[in-house]
Structure 1
Amino acid sequence: MDIEIDPTEAGFAPERLARIDRYLERFVDEGRLPGWQLVLTRRGKVVHDSSYGYRDLEARTPTGHDSLFRIMSMTKPIVSVAAMTLWEEGAFQLSTPVSDFIPSFADVRVYQGGSDLRPNTVAAVEPIRMVHLLTHTSGLTYPFLRQHPVDAMYRERKLDTTVPTAIDLEGLCDELAALPLLFQPGTEWAYSMATDVLGRVIEVISGKSLGEFLAERIFRPLGMTETRFGRAADPEPHLVNLYAHTPDGLVRSDLFANGCDKASFESGGGGLISSAHDYHRFTQMMLRRGELDGQRVIGSRTASFITTNHLPGGVDLDTYGRPLYSESPMRGSGFGLGFSVNLDPATAGRPGTPGSFGWGGMAGTRFWVDPVEELTMLFFTQVFSSTPLPMRETMPQLVYQALVD
């Protein structure tokens, strides 16, 4: 993307801004990242767009500014906003049971003890509601977490959105509904396949496929021409290869790549391919409280409502959640309707502004929006790691140290 404002005009010290690229470049030089792209904006204008490394390590093809990335869980905020456009029309209340749209969720049960082969379960005290899907408090889980017997039950049933399967989205939801929940709905936070279920609810309400609905409500209004489920061509020259950390260095990974490239169904939890340009359009719409270039996606009050902490009592994820996996810090962060929300920078141990919101993806991508500073940060790479990528955790201190106005 073209730089739209001089860094000094935007309140950045150029020499401090340069520190960010120098810091990130070393991860490529040391063989810890294949490549990356970083975009910063201030007051609605692009102030910094840099890239380094390779979209194809073997062919030494540079990452470039026209790269496409599997954004994985950065799909979730887009799908959550799309669902809330239906909420604005009165299609559901946050308290509406999910079983009103997916009947198989009418009689869910909750894990109480035992093994994955012989689980003890009890009936759910209350139904899974729409708010539980949007806030990850439903009791659903993810098979890759490998922390709980229910995770193992998901793997046994091959309920994994990261690899192609024979199951469709309707069938996936029926399978999930037949397995026990981690906890009673609404009593804890746990990262999960809830947004995949939310995607199916969107299909049932709208009568359209999830991809068609996202195109109608989000992509076309915002000019997000490169965002989609699955490859547009094979091969797709601008799609960055996905790599995995191994003891021998970075190795091409088809496992998670195929889940996005050749998926059996449109995964609302992690299936989109997108670009820095397109996700920039989405974050600018959120920064402007639901509108961009004359196109209103959601109401201004809805945008504020979505990015407010919805965890009971205003607590953070560390208090309310299971510390298994999250795309944001758990201490000092709450959770809205599809986004993490910065509650207290001091508790989180990193700079920022209370009320900032964002999320990330398993392949190393991350974004946040700071409405007070009128700042957005977008970071893209394509590497799967079993431990948190250090640059994602360090990015807030690097970005905010560069602001001097």
Structure 2
Amino acid sequence: MLENISHYGFDTEFLTRAFDDLSTKYVDSGKLSGFSVLIARNREVAGIYHTGYSAMGDEKEDAFPLKDDTIYRIYSMSKPITAFAMMRFVERGQINLDDKVKDYIPAFSDPQVWVSGDTREFTTRPSEKDITVFDLLTHQSGLTYDFLGEHPIDALYRRKQLTGGRSCRPSVEEFVNEIAAMPILFTPGEKWNYSFSLDVVGRVMEVVSGKSLDKILHEEVFGPLDMKDTGFTLPADKADRMTHLYFKDHRKDFIRCIDRGRDTTFLKPAEMLGGGGGLLSTLTDYYKFCRMLESNGTVNGRTLLSKKTLDIMRSNQLPGGATMKEKAACKFSESDMEGTGFGISWSIITDPTTEGNYASRGTYSWGGLGNTYFFIDPVEKISVILMTQIVPYGIYPIRTELKEIIYKALK
């Protein structure tokens, strides 16, 4: 559906050819079952491109062509939604950004910074600073992820089976309390490290409101935006719209299905509501969220968040205007680190001249483990969403290729 995209300043012929080439490279070759791209400009959908199916290989008999309302596991694209909900709490005065997390979750009362050792025997020192809500929202808390594989604390998370999965603990409360008992990588605010911080943010909102995170997100985001296909659990009557999830073992160059669409684990209610990566959504549902961001927090005449607060979210919050590369304690990110800062829950391009950035200064973006991705360029007034389903993130350079195509297609 790219027929009218020239009306929005794109070269239709170039874009169609480039997307078809991308489809040949990834879908026809069996690297992806399919992918979908939504392109919007000036807060209107300019075009949507679908290629491939919901499944491939041995599961091809269950496949259906990808559509606007196909449901995907969006993993870390949940983070901006959770952060947006938290900023509504902040704007109403229910929470302050400089509040100490221990005031809401006592398990964080004595953060210990890693000094040396291994997963069985290690030494720590008391942190000079408590973790704040701001630290959580900007990934400067010192927490980490089990899958990073770069520091002994990452391995310690794995040893304790702190994976953040839907059933890894009976509740997010128990999970977050166990995370709080782990050493942190650095004094909060010193560095940037990708982590379970947004899962902790979700728990803070639960404590403040007395409600579960699914209800909070429905009230703060999904309801007002009419995002009817976004949530933590898949209703049985929507199972026929769910994609299969694939895993690529890069060492063995082998791809296998790890979660079937109609039999997905998401049919069962999640025991742990993870604000950092637990949501399902669709191309068109997520665009409703992006369009609201482009509209400076308003939808249908209703203001969900003020432009002033959104501008804080869309500004680099790393100390001294540093880039992610300068402040990162880990190598992993859902975006390029060079020439890129970090705001509240997403990366922000600070130097558009850096190779591979393509987009304008101030463009903000984030992605998910399943290689989903979105970016919003406030200068060109473009928003783009990519949906596909293969893990781990970065197994193919499709995000970078997509950005290059979009900007080369601009007239």
The TM tier, using the shorter chain, reads over 0.9
Match of 2:369 in 1: 362
Cα distance change on mapping 1:33 and 1:50 into 2, 3 Å: same
Residue range with higher mean Cα deviation, 110-119 or 154-163: 154-163
22-31 or 32-41, larger mean C-alpha shift: 22-31
Q: Give the aligned partner of residue 300 of structure 2.
A: 293
* Alignment match, 2:5: 7
What is aligned with 1:320?
327
Deviation of residue 258 (structure 1)? 6.5
Picking from 360, 367, 373, the partner of 1:353 is 360
Partner of 1:251: 256
Q: Which moved more, 1:14-23 or 1:89-98?
A: 14-23
Is 1:16 the counterpart of 2:17 in the alignment? Answer: no
Instruction: String of CA shifts for 1:288-337, please: whole Å, max 9, x gaps.
Output: 11012223211111111111000000011000112421000010111101
Encode CA deviations 1:58-80: one digit per residue, 9 max, x unaligned: 22422222200000000000000
2:354 counterpart SS class: helix
Q: Go from structure 1 to structure 2 and tell me whether the alpha carbon gap of 1:310 and 1:166 turns closer, same or farther (over 3 Å shift).
A: closer
What is the Cα deviation at residue 164 of structure 1? 2.0
Q: After the TM superposition, which residues 116-135 of structure 1 pair with which residues of structure 2 at under 5 Å, given as runs?
A: 116-135=119-138
Q: Distance in 1 between matches of 2:350 and 2:8?
A: 25
Cα distance change on mapping 1:282 and 1:157 into 2, 3 Å: same
Aligned residue runs from structure 1 range 70-109, under 5 A: 70-109=73-112
State the Cα deviation string for residues 343-373 of structure 1 (Å, max 9, x = none): 1122253311101101000001000011111
Higher mean C-alpha displacement, 14-23 vs 250-259: 250-259
Structure 1 stretch displaced more, 234-243 or 22-31: 234-243
Q: Distance in 1 between matches of 2:313 and 2:265?
A: 28
- Residue 54 of structure 1 aligns with an amino acid whose one-letter code is Y
Aligned-partner Cα distance in 2 for 1:254–1:197: 26
Residue matched to 2:196: 193
Give the counterpart letter for 1:284 in structure 2.
R
Read off the aligned partner of 2:38 and give its amino acid letter: V
Partner of 2:272: 265
- How many angstroms apart in 2 are the aligned matches of 1:185 and 1:280? 33
Structure 2: distance between partners of 1:359 and 1:260:
23
Structure 1 residues 236 and 190 mapped into 2: Cα distance closer, same or farther (>3 Å)? same
Instruction: Between 295-304 and 161-170, report the one with greater CA deviation.
Output: 161-170
Q: Deviations over 1:236-285 (max 9, x none)?
A: 11010100113354210149996755432110000000001110000000
SS in 2 for 1:283: helix
Aligned alpha-carbon RMSD (Å): 1.9
Q: Normalising by structure 2, what TM-score?
A: 0.94
Q: Report if aligned partners of 2:349, 2:363 keep a CA contact under 8 Å in 1.
A: yes
- Distance in 2, matches of 1:260 and 1:195, equals 20
Q: Which runs of no fewer than 5 residues in structure 2 stay unpaired? A: none
From 207, 215, 218, the equivalent of 1:215 is 218
User: Which residue number in structure 1 is paired with residue 153 of structure 2?
Assistant: 150
CA distance in 1, matches of 2:393, 2:273: 25
8 Å CA contact 1:280–1:378 kept in 2: the answer is yes
SS of 1:204's partner is helix
- Counterparts of 1:259 and 1:313, CA distance in 2: 44
Deviates more, 1:280-289 or 1:159-168: 159-168
Quote the offset at 1:206 in angstroms: 1.2
Which stretch of structure 1 is more off in the superposition, 12-21 or 259-268? 259-268
Q: Which letter maps to 2:22? A: L
Judge which range, 56-65 or 376-385, deviates more: 56-65
Q: Do the aligned partners of 1:316 and 1:330 also contact (CA within 8 Å) in 2?
A: yes
Cα distance change of structure 1 residues 128 and 253 upon mapping to structure 2, 3 Å threshold? same
d(CA) in 2 for partners of 1:20, 1:295: 38
The residue number in structure 1 matching 2:39 is: 40
CA contact (8 A) 2:364 2:376 kept: yes
Question: 2:42 and 2:393 mapped to 1: Cα distance?
Answer: 36
Which whole-Å CA distance do the structure 1 matches of 2:84 and 2:202 have between them? Answer: 11
List runs of 5+ in structure 1 lacking aligned partners.
none
Preserved CA contact (<8 Å) 2:166 2:278: no
In 1, Cα distance between equivalents of 2:117 and 2:273:
33
Q: One-letter code of the match for 1:363?
A: G
Which secondary structure does the structure 1 equivalent of 2:123 belong to? strand
Q: How many pairs were matched up?
A: 402
- Distance in 1, matches of 2:253 and 2:395, equals 18
Distance across 2 between alignment mates of 1:22 and 1:264: 41
Deviates more, 1:381-390 or 1:117-126: 381-390
Q: Secondary structure at the match of 2:48?
A: strand
Contact 1:52 1:64 in 2 (8 A): no
Deviation, 1:234, is 7.5
Q: C-alpha distance in 2, partners of 1:357/1:387?
A: 18
Give the one of 153, 162, 165 matched to 1:162: 165
Q: Given the alignment of the two structures, is residue 112 of structure 1 paired with residue 115 of structure 2, yes or no?
A: yes
Question: Match for residue 62 of structure 1?
Answer: 65
Q: Quick check: 1:285–1:292 contact (8 Å CA) kept in 2?
A: yes
**Matching of residue 397 in structure 1 with residue 399 in structure 2:** no
Query: Aligned pair in 2 of structure 1 residues 163, 226: CA closer, same or farther (>3 Å)?
Result: closer
- AA aligned to 1:16 is F
TM-score normalised by length of structure 1: 0.95
Q: Is the 8 A contact 2:153 2:185 kept in 1?
A: yes
Q: Equivalents in 2 of 1:231, 1:28: separation in Å?
A: 26
Q: Which moved more, 1:287-296 or 1:172-181?
A: 287-296
SS of residue matched to 1:355: coil
- Alignment partners' CA distance in 2, 1:258 and 1:129: 36
Moved more, 168-177 or 53-62: 53-62
Q: Distance in 2 between matches of 1:347 and 1:401?
A: 16
Residue 171 of structure 1 aligns with which residue?
A: 174
In 1, Cα distance between the equivalents of 2:254 and 2:50? Answer: 21
CA distance in 2, matches of 1:364, 1:118: 36
What CA distance in whole angstroms lies between the structure 2 residues aligned with 1:162 and 1:325?
19
